[in-house]
């Protein structure tokens, strides 16, 4: 059995990625923070694709909790390892810098950037020892271009982009690729509060993207066909920003 871990796999893009990986034959470890009902629905959809999975709840910002859950998994699966990691968990807490509180700044950076460290660091060793691994980091157009009202989110995603490029160079010799996917507007819970009818006018493709379109790109980056792609940031935004 080949194993893939998707952080924030309970909803939105993480759910679609879980289904994509299930279709590719992976047993999917579905991480989430608190929404067990949605995570169970993802597990049901993974099984519908003919593969299997399990729920793996932890808060990506809590290194002790991450270590304890991953160590338990490793003890229960001797000789096996998680070869695919999708660092997808993320939140928005938009505000103009002038009014941005410490909690809005810290929480957004904690989940995306520190979450990347907390989950990737303990899984990396096995990928290097087994000489195969795939890491995909879910970033954002905001981390490439910078978005007003999202200084915290742009900083978190920009940090992940730089980390992607650096780590890719550390691991390439061991066939561990590290890439980032940078979506524009994708229709999920995260964008539910946005005025889609207004914002889609800014998108050359004339619409928001779907989680499934992002998942297809992640699937390609995980596949053997993408073995020579590493340290890249691939935009998926309907032409909004190139």
Q: Which residues pair with residue 155 across a beta bridge?
A: none
Q: Which residue among the candidates 3, 26, 32, 153 is catalytic per the annotation?
A: 153
What's the token pair of residue 112?
A: 């995306």
- The binding track of 54-93 with respect to ligand NDP, each residue x by CB under 6 A or -, is -----xxx--------------------------xxxx--
Q: Which residues pair with residue 98 across a beta bridge?
A: none
Give least dist CB 34 to ligand NDP, A.
4
- Tell which positions 202-241 bind ligand NDP, by CB under 6 A: none
Give least dist CB 41 to ligand NDP, A.
10
Please answer whether residues 226 and 219 qualify as being in contact, where contact means their C-beta atoms are separated by less than 8 angstroms: no
The DSSP 8-state label assigned to residue 95 in this structure reads B
Q: For this structure, is 153 an active site residue?
A: yes
What's the token pair of residue 241?
A: 């920003």
What's the token pair of residue 65?
A: 């909790």
Q: Which of 116, 33, 129, 20 is nearest to 74 (CA)?
A: 129
Q: Does 189 bind ligand NDP (CB under 6 A)?
A: yes
Of positions 123, 185, 221, 233, contacts ligand NDP by CB under 6 A: 185
Of the ranges 45-53, 76-84, 165-173, 185-193, which one interacts with ligand NDP (CB under 6 A)? 185-193
Distance between CA atoms of residues 196 and 112, nearest Å: 24
Of positions 186, 203, 218, 240, contacts ligand NDP by CB under 6 A: 186
What are the start-end ranges of the H helices in the chain?
A: 12-23, 36-48, 63-76, 102-109, 115-129, 141-145, 151-171, 196-199, 211-222
- Tell which positions 123-162 bind ligand NDP, by CB under 6 A: 138, 140
Residues catalogued as catalytic: 153
The residues binding ligand NDP (CB under 6 A) are: 7-8, 10-14, 31-35, 38, 59-61, 88-91, 111, 138, 140, 183, 185-186, 188-191
């Amino acid at each position: 059995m080949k194993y893939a871990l998707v952080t924030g796999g309970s909803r939105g893009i993480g759910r679609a990625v879980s289904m994509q990986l299930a279709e590719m034959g992976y047993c999917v470890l579905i991480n989430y923070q608190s929404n067990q009902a949605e995570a169970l629905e993802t597990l049901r959809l993974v099984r519908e694709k003919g593969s299997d999975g399990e729920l793996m709840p932890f808060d990506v910002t809590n290194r002790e909790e991450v270590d304890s859950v991953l160590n338990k998994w490793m003890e229960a699966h001797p000789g096996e390892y998680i070869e695919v990691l999708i660092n997808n968990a993320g939140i928005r807490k938009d505000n103009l810098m002038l009014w941005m509180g410490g909690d809005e700044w810290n929480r957004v950076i904690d989940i995306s950037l520190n979450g990347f460290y907390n989950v990737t660091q303990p899984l990396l060793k096995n990928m290097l020892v087994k000489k195969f691994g795939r890491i995909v980091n879910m970033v954002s157009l905001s981390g490439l271009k910078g978005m007003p009202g999202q200084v915290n989110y742009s900083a978190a995603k920009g940090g992940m982009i730089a980390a992607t490029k650096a780590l890719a160079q550390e691991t390439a010799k061991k066939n561990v690729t590290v890439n980032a996917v940078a979506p524009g507007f994708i229709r999920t819970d995260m964008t539910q509060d946005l005025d889609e009818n207004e914002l889609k006018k800014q998108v050359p493709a004339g619409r928001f993207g779907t989680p499934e379109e992002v998942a297809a790109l992640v699937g390609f980056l995980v596949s053997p066909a993408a073995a020579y792609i590493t340290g890249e940031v691939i935009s998926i935004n309907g032409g909004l920003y190139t």
